Each structure stands twice: as C-alpha cells, then as structure tokens.
Amino acid sequence: MADADPHHSTLHPAIARAASWPAWTADPAVAQLLAALRDLDALATRLAALHRVRPDLGLESVRGEVGEVAPILERCPERGFDHGWRWRANGGACAGLWEMLGRRRAAWIDARLAVEGFPADADTRAKALRGMALERAAPPVVMLWEAFRAGAALPR
C-alpha cells in the first residue's frame, strides 16, 4: 500500500512502517504490548492480595512500580480541540505501557497523514478533517484493552 505512494520514498523508515499497517492494531508489537500489560495487571492483582494478607511485607513501593490497569478518565490539557479527556492506566509500568500504546496509535495516525500527502507542518482544514476521521477509525487504547481482555481478535 505505502509502496505505491509517491511520498513513500521520502518518508522516514519508521513512518513508512507505521503507515504500512491497515490499522494501528495490526502492528504485531501492539499485541505484545497488550500481553505485557495483561501480565503486569495480573502481577498487580497478586501483589494486592498478598498485601491484604501480609501488610507487614511493605509491598506498597513494589505495587506502585507495577501499577494496575484500572482505566482512569482524566482531563487532558494538550487535547483542547475536542472533549479534552483521556483514559489512562493507574501508575507504574502499566501506565507506561498504556502511554506507549497511545503513542503507537498517534504515530499510526500521523504516518497515515504523511503517506496521504499531508506534511507534518501543514495546518490545513483538509488535514484536520482527515486526522479526525483517522482518530474515529482508530480504536482508542481503552477500547482495545477491553477487547483484548475479553479475548476478541485485534482489529486489522
């Protein structure tokens, strides 16, 4: 798909790779990141259970480093152009993986715009409309996480 695009040859290889996926969720790394997030969430659950039985172990710092996947809706200051809210995981490595997944989604949208001929520094109505259409088409991390936990196949 990206090979047929005249802009493809001038794109950075990472942008071309991101744009080559028909959906941001088709990138194999996304499934691996979700699996790691699932494993960390299970670890957080086990540590919380152990903490309830043995609070004397002092697991608070370890639990904070691991975090948990409890999607939190928070105000997002950099997204003033729309509703201004975002979902995120609650702390530690889980929050880091959640944000990494969000960056993969954003990178796919930016790459699709670049492949479709919208320069990164362009600020046009056409680019904004296409960007909004890609935003609507790309499932947000919270929806992807819920589908993954339920055992559904990732959108391709």
Give the pLDDT score at 86. 64
pLDDT per residue as tens, the chain (156 positions): 444 444 445 778 888 888 888 999 999 999 999 999 999 999 999 999 999 999 999 988 888 899 888 766 666 655 555 555 666 777 889 989 999 999 999 999 999 999 999 988 888 899 999 999 999 999 999 889 989 989 988 877
If you ran DSSP here, which 8-state letter would residue 22 be given? S
State the Cα–Cα distance between residues 92 and 117, nearest whole angstrom.
38
Closest CA to 39 of 131, 149, 113: 149
